[in-house]
């Protein structure tokens, strides 16, 4: 929760392990695709 007057944040952020894992997998896959494409073009 964020205090509207002071901007102070209370509590913890609800991280979803599924979403974090999916994002990490997507980033690794995209990096691998770029590297493979670069090697194929060169």
Structural domain contains residue 6: no
Structural domain contains residue 31: yes
Average pLDDT, the chain: 91
Structural domain contains residue 42: yes
What letter does residue 2 receive in the DSSP assignment?
B
Greatest Cα pair distance in the chain: 56
Structural domain contains residue 35: yes
Compute the half-sphere exposure of residue 36: CA atoms within 13 Å on the CB side of its CA. Answer: 6
Say whether pLDDT at 21 is over 90: yes
Structural domain contains residue 21: yes
Which range marks the domain in which residue 39 is found? 14-42
Structural domain contains residue 33: yes
What pLDDT is attached to residue 2? 82
Structural domain contains residue 23: yes
Render the burial of 21-37: b for 16+ CB within 10 Å, e for the rest: eeeeeeeeeeeeeeeee
What pLDDT is attached to residue 17? 93
* Integer Cα distance of 5 and 22 in angstroms: 35
Say whether pLDDT at 39 is over 90: yes
Structural domain contains residue 8: no
Say whether pLDDT at 8 is over 90: no
Q: Tally the domains of the chain.
A: 1
């Amino acid at each position: 929760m964020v205090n509207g007057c002071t901007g102070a944040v209370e509590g913890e952020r609800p991280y979803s392990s599924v979403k974090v894992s999916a994002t990490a997998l997507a980033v690794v896959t995209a990096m691998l695709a770029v590297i493979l494409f670069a090697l194929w073009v060169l």
